[in-house]
Amino acid sequence: MKTYDAIVVGGGPAGLVAAARLAEAGAATAVLDPEAPWEKPCGGGLSPVALDLFPWLADLEQTSRRVSRVHLTSVHGASVTLEGQEPYFVLSRRELAAALLARARAAAAEHLPHRVRSVARDGAAWQVRHDGGQLRGRLLVGADGVASVVRRAVRGAFARSDLGVAMGYHLSGCPLNALRLWFQRPEGFAYLFPRRDAASLGVGWRASLRGGRASSRRLLERALRSWAPGASIVGRYSHAFPSMVSREGWAEPRVGEGWALVGDAAGHVDPVRGEGIIYAMWGASLLADAVIEGRPETYEDRWRDAFGGSLWRKLPKRWVLRVPGLAGAGMLLARPFPRARECLYRRSQHHS
Ligand SMILES: Cc1cc2nc3c(=O)[nH]c(=O)nc-3n(C[C@H](O)[C@H](O)[C@H](O)COP(=O)(O)OP(=O)(O)OC[C@H]3O[C@@H](n4cnc5c(N)ncnc54)[C@H](O)[C@@H]3O)c2cc1C
């Protein structure tokens, strides 16, 4: 059985960034994912800080679009358009994954297109069983998303109250000039994220919300009619995502003896807006820094310092989304862009 320094389970943004960085530093690294690169159900929107942290993203031009017009609709149907924001960067998940996979392979990480079935501690190492056989690894990185096998082994699955669900459409032939968000009471939203030639339109809601699926489906159809009349539906999707609201969830460790969790498997998703790609890549990069320095346990402080506090502090602001009118939603979503960007950037500089 082959032994690796690091086995990364999952080849999404978190796993591929971790694999590339660890392999670049000379660690024998395997990344397992039967799907990668693929069009993961997602809006594909990256907030402005993404290009500061990962400037090479700007080279991804096949499907991407920069959007600086944001159109918000409140729970009561009032709308406002915010212009001149720092641009969002929106792209297809397949293009992002293909670029990340190429970087990981160039760094000599080995991609094994297999699904991991189980992981178990075996002395000082981990034994990983997958569709094509078994591997051993000294460090096990759980980057396998919201239903993570690694997470279940080291921490247990997410509580239902810490989960969100989203469903939506990939569209062609719809307006692509603005990013659109529409809030629904309580704690639901619709979004339209335009890419170069297509868009992702969907709705998200809290998994534990009674009747959430039915009311979200109605919102999805209304959003489709008003934002994209005449558009063609080229694909449909539905997927869960972590939406941590419990204090216990935020307090739990993301690193332990020979293991670490990154991205969705770690619950690193903005609990208000559902944004997770940037935190997946950022967290993975911080984990790699910690491992390369020979102090993997410092990953815990690194991610909490860099972005954990700001995600946690957003939670009380969830009430804003239930308030009629736009003052609250506008305040929450528009004003912090430049400020948040500056603040996040300073923190990342501090840690790099
Ligand atoms: C509908 C929807 C819309 C979203 N929109 C946005 C958005 O616009 N912007 C944003 O920033 N975030 C968005 N998110 C959140 C974002 O998709 C995630 O936060 C992000 O993908 C997390 O990256 P990750 O690498 O941790 O996990 P993932 O991208 O989920 O990758 C996990 C990978 O692990 C693989 N895997 C799973 N199980 C196994 C296994 N047993 N063995 C091997 N491989 C396995 C999967 O194939 C997958 O490729 C959205 C989420 C959803 C559901």
**C-alpha dihedral (308, 306, 188, 75), degrees to nearest 10:** 120
pTM, whole model, 2 decimals? 0.93
**Contact 137 CB / ligand 1 (< 6 Å):** no
Ligand 1: centre distance to CA 40 (Å): 6
Euclidean distance between CA atoms 325 and 347, whole angstroms = 33
Contacts of 93 (CB under 8 A, 6+ apart): 38, 39, 40, 42, 44
Alpha helices in the chain (DSSP H): 13-24, 49-53, 93-106, 149-154, 212-227, 247-251, 277-292, 299-303, 309-314, 327-333, 336-351
Ligand 1: centre distance to CA 93 (Å): 9
Q: Give kind and range of the element (H or E) at residue 80.
A: strand 79-82
Euclidean distance between CA atoms 337 and 317, whole angstroms = 15
**Contact 193 CB / ligand 1 (< 6 Å):** yes
Ligand 1: centre distance to CA 143 (Å): 9
Euclidean distance between CA atoms 97 and 38, whole angstroms = 7
Would you list the domain boundaries of the chain?
Answer: 3-160+244-351
**Contact 144 CB / ligand 1 (< 6 Å):** yes
**Contact 239 CB / ligand 1 (< 6 Å):** yes
Pocket-testing residue among 51, 92, 131, 144, ligand 1, by greatest number of atoms within 8 A of Cβ: 144
Closest ligand 1 atom to residue 13 Cα is 25
Per-residue pLDDT 10s for the chain (352 aa) are 899 999 999 999 999 999 999 999 999 999 999 999 999 999 999 988 899 999 999 999 999 999 998 888 877 777 778 877 688 999 999 999 999 999 999 999 999 999 999 999 999 999 999 999 999 999 999 999 999 999 999 999 999 999 999 999 999 999 899 999 888 776 688 999 999 999 999 999 989 988 889 999 999 999 999 999 999 999 999 999 999 988 889 999 999 999 999 999 999 999 878 899 999 999 999 999 999 999 999 999 999 999 998 888 776 666 555 555 555 555 555 554 555 444 444 444 444 3
The pLDDT tens digits of the residues spanning 161-189 come to 999 999 999 999 998 999 998 887 766 88
**Contact 145 CB / ligand 1 (< 6 Å):** yes
Find the distance separating the first CA and the last CA of the chain, reported in whole Å. 36
**Contact 307 CB / ligand 1 (< 6 Å):** no
Euclidean distance between CA atoms 60 and 218, whole angstroms = 34
3-state secondary structure of 166: strand
Closest ligand 1 atom to residue 167 Cα is 1
What are the distances in angstroms from CA 282 to CA 235, 236, 301, 351? Answer: 29, 29, 13, 11
Strand order in the sheet with 188-194: 79-82, 70-73, 179-184, 188-194, 198-206, 163-172, 232-242
Ligand 1: centre distance to CA 14 (Å): 9
Q: The CATH number of 3-160+244-351 is which of 2.40.50.140, 3.40.50.300, 3.20.20.140, 3.50.50.60?
A: 3.50.50.60
Euclidean distance between CA atoms 57 and 64, whole angstroms = 10
Ligand 1: centre distance to CA 147 (Å): 10
Each as own residue / partner, the long-range contacts of residues 16-19 (CB below 8 Å, 24 or more positions apart, any chain) are 16/97, 16/100, 16/101, 16/103, 16/104, 16/284, 17/100, 17/280, 17/281, 17/284, 17/285, 17/288, 18/141, 18/143, 18/262, 18/284, 18/285, 18/287, 18/288, 19/104, 19/107, 19/109, 19/141
**Contact 12 CB / ligand 1 (< 6 Å):** yes
- Please give the single-letter amino acid code of residue 193: F
Say if residues 143 and 263 touch (Cβ distance below 8 Å): yes
**Contact 16 CB / ligand 1 (< 6 Å):** no
**Contact 10 CB / ligand 1 (< 6 Å):** yes
Residue bearing the CA closest to ligand 1, atom 30:
145
Q: What is the pLDDT, as a whole number, of residue 347?
A: 45
**C-alpha dihedral (129, 130, 132, 137), degrees to nearest 10:** -60
**Contact 40 CB / ligand 1 (< 6 Å):** yes
Residue bearing the CA closest to ligand 1, atom 6:
43
* Of 122, 91, 114, 101, nearest in space to 33 by CA: 114
**Contact 45 CB / ligand 1 (< 6 Å):** yes
Ligand 1: centre distance to CA 229 (Å): 29
Q: What is the pLDDT, as a whole number, of residue 348?
A: 44
